[in-house]
Homo-oligomer: A and B are copies of this chain.
C-alpha cells in the first residue's frame, strides 16, 4: 500500500477511507470502539492524563506512542498554570473533530482545501462551580466556533462544514450530552 497506489486529496487517503466504510458495511462489529484516558493527580488542581490504548476493529490497539497531557488552573483560579484548564481541552476537541471531519468529507466529495483555521470561544460564569449561585450552570453557557476555509467554491466549503457538523462525534457529545457513570474505590 503506497501513496502511488492510493491517490490522496487534502492529505486524505480516499481509497482507504472508502475501503474502511465498505469493510464496516460487511461487519458492523468493526465499528464498535472504546477510547480511554487515565489520569493521575499531581498536586492541587494539577493533574496529568495518559492516552495510549483503545479498543476498535474487534481488537485491543494502541496509538503509535503514549502521550501525556497536563491540566491545571491558572493563578487567577488558584492553580499553578502547569497546563490549560480542563474546559479548554473541550474546545480543542470540538475544533479538532469538526476539522478532521470536514477534511475527510471534502476529500470524499472531491473538494480541495488550501486552508482551514478555526477559533472556538466558550463562555462560562464561575458563579456555578464556585457554588455561589444555584441558577448558574457549572459548564459553558454557550460555545461559538468560527471557521475560515479557503480552497474550492465557497458554497462547497460551507457545505462540507455543515456535513461535518452533522457527523461530528464531539459536536454531538457537546451539544446533546452523554450519560456518565462514576465509580469510586476509596478503599
Number of copies: 2
Do the beta carbons of B77 and A119 come within 8 Å of each other?
no
5 intermolecular pairs with C-beta atoms under 8 Å apart? A31-B125, A37-B119, A89-B89, A143-B181, A146-B185
Q: Scoring A residues 25 to 62 as 1 if CB is less than 8 Å from chain B, else 0, what string do you get?
A: 10010011111111111111111010100101100010
Chain B residues with Cβ below 8 Å from A110 are: none
**Bound form: Cα–Cα A173–B138 in Å:** 8
Do the beta carbons of B184 and A44 come within 8 Å of each other?
no
Chain B residues with Cβ below 8 Å from A93 are: 71, 86-87, 89-90, 93
Q: Scoring A residues 134 to 146 as 1 if CB is less than 8 Å from chain B, else 0, what string do you get?
A: 0001111111111
A-side interface size class: 35 or more
Chain B residues with Cβ below 8 Å from A51 are: 84, 88, 91-92
**Bound form: Cα–Cα A138–B169 in Å:** 5
Do the beta carbons of B170 and A90 come within 8 Å of each other?
yes
Q: With A51-B88, A138-B172 given, name 18 new contacts (CB 8 A).
A: A8-B44, A24-B126, A32-B126, A35-B122, A35-B124, A36-B120, A38-B95, A73-B100, A78-B104, A87-B170, A89-B89, A89-B92, A98-B182, A138-B167, A142-B179, A148-B186, A165-B182, A171-B180
Could you tell me the distance in whole angstroms from the C-beta of A183 to the nearest C-beta in chain B?
5
Chain B residues with Cβ below 8 Å from A61 are: 74, 76
Chain B residues with Cβ below 8 Å from A10 are: 43-44
Could you tell me the distance in whole angstroms from the C-beta of A40 to the nearest C-beta in chain B?
5
Chain B residues with Cβ below 8 Å from A138 are: 167-169, 171-172
